[in-house]
Amino acid sequence: MTVKDWPGLSDRTILVTGAAAGIGRGVAEAVGKAGARVVIADIDADGLTQLASELSTSGANVLAIQADMTDSAQVEHMVNRAVEEFGGLDGLVLAAGGFPQRKLVEEITPDEWDRGITQNLSSAFYCCRAAVPHMKSQGGGTIVVVASAAGRTVNRQQTAYYGAAKTGLLGLTRHLAFELGEHGIRVNAVAPGVTLTPRIERLYDESRLEAIRQTVPLGRVAEVDDQVGPVLFLLSAQSSYITGATLDVSGGRVLV
Positions annotated as catalytic residues are 162
CA 71 – CA 118 distance, rounded (Å)? 9
Centroid of chain to Cα 141: 16
- In the chain, where does DSSP find H-type helix? 22-33, 45-57, 72-86, 110-117, 123-138, 160-180, 198-203, 206-213, 224-235
Distance CA 47, CA 41 (A): 10
Instruction: Using DSSP bridges, classify how beta strands 246-249 and 141-146 pair: parallel, antiparallel or unpaired.
Output: unpaired
Does residue 147 contact residue 173 with C-beta atoms inside 8 Å? yes
Longest distance between any two alpha carbons in the chain, whole Å: 51
- Annotate 18-33 with DSSP letters as a single string: STTSHHHHHHHHHHHH
- Could you tell me if 65 and 127 are in contact, meaning their C-beta atoms sit under 8 angstroms apart? no
**What percentage of the chain's residues is helix, strand, coil (to nearest 5)?**
50, 15, 30
